[in-house]
């Protein structure tokens, strides 16, 4: 029971994302017309160049200062195709990773991480190869803000650090953006049971399970 509670604490963000997507599908069957009107209004604004630039810059700023930049997924993905969404999300999150790395490197030991952040710092202190950093970016359970700041505080080389962010987040944002886009299409068409809508949710669930396994293996390997 304690292990289950610990798992839930570590992966609450990914679970919340899945719940929100499922809630969107349920709402699609109840308030399709109202939600479709809201999405239509959002699509008209989202295509403006100033809105695109503002969304990417805001995401970068949020990540730079260890704020929840991942929330920008809900501002970007519903109103753009998965390919465009992934590009925007990658630019914002990788730029934010760069900003957070440089900022936290200057802050150094003045940064006081919490218990979860301390575990990530300890993990990266012992094992910071490209594969490990990429795994942290792909799987839920490793908050990006903590990884960004840990990389800066430890002075990890910027090249591999940003490459891992690019590789890992390409996979992660691809799954998330596809899931959100599918939910939006379900709202617009009124069909919540399309394969394109349901499949990304199973992939997301798989990432959650693999993330728990990867985190456990990494933590056990570094504790030897």
Determine the pLDDT at residue 52.
92
State yes or no: pLDDT of 207 exceeds 80: no
Give residue 45's pLDDT band: very low, low, confident or very high (50, 70, 90).
Answer: confident
Determine the pLDDT at residue 55.
92
Determine the pLDDT at residue 2.
44
Distance of CA 200 to the CA centre of its chain: 15
Comparing CA positions, the residue from 170, 210, 172, 145 lying closest to residue 11 is 210
Q: In terms of pLDDT, which residue wins out, 123 or 18?
A: 123
Task: Evaluate if pTM is beyond 0.85.
Answer: no
**Rounded-to-integer distance, Cα 150 and Cα 128, Å:** 10
- Domain of residue 184, residue span: 2-222
Contact criterion met (CB below 8 Å) for 184 and 78: yes
Q: Which tens digits make up the pLDDT trace of 133-167?
A: 988 888 777 788 889 988 998 999 999 999 999 99
Largest CA distance in the chain: 57
Determine the pLDDT at residue 85.
94
Please, what is the average pLDDT of the chain? 76
Question: Based on the structure, what is the number of domains in the chain?
Answer: 1
Determine the pLDDT at residue 140.
74
Contact criterion met (CB below 8 Å) for 60 and 96: yes
């Amino acid at each position: 029971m304690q292990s289950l509670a610990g798992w839930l604490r570590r992966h609450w963000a990914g679970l919340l994302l899945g719940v929100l997507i499922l809630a969107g599908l349920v709402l699609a069957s109840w308030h399709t017309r109202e939600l479709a009107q809201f999405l239509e209004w959002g699509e008209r604004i989202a295509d403006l160049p100033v809105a695109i630039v503002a969304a990417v810059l805001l995401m970068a700023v949020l990540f730079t200062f260890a704020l929840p930049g991942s929330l920008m997924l809900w501002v970007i993905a519903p109103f753009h195709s998965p390919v465009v969404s992934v590009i925007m999300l990658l630019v914002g999150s990788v730029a934010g990773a760069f900003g957070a790395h440089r900022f936290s490197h200057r802050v150094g030991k003045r940064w006081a991480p919490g218990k979860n952040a301390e575990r990530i710092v300890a993990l990266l202190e012992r094992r910071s190869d490209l594969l490990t950093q990429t795994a942290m970016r792909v799987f839920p359970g490793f908050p990006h803000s903590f990884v960004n700041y840990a990389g800066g505080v430890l002075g990890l080389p910027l090249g591999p650090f940003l490459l891992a962010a690019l590789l890992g987040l390409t996979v992660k944002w691809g799954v998330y953006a596809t899931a959100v886009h599918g939910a939006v299409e379900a709202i617009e068409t009124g069909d919540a049971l399309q394969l394109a809508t349901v499949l990304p949710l199973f992939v997301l669930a798989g990432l959650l399970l693999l993330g728990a396994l990867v985190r456990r293996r990494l933590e056990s390997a570094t504790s030897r």
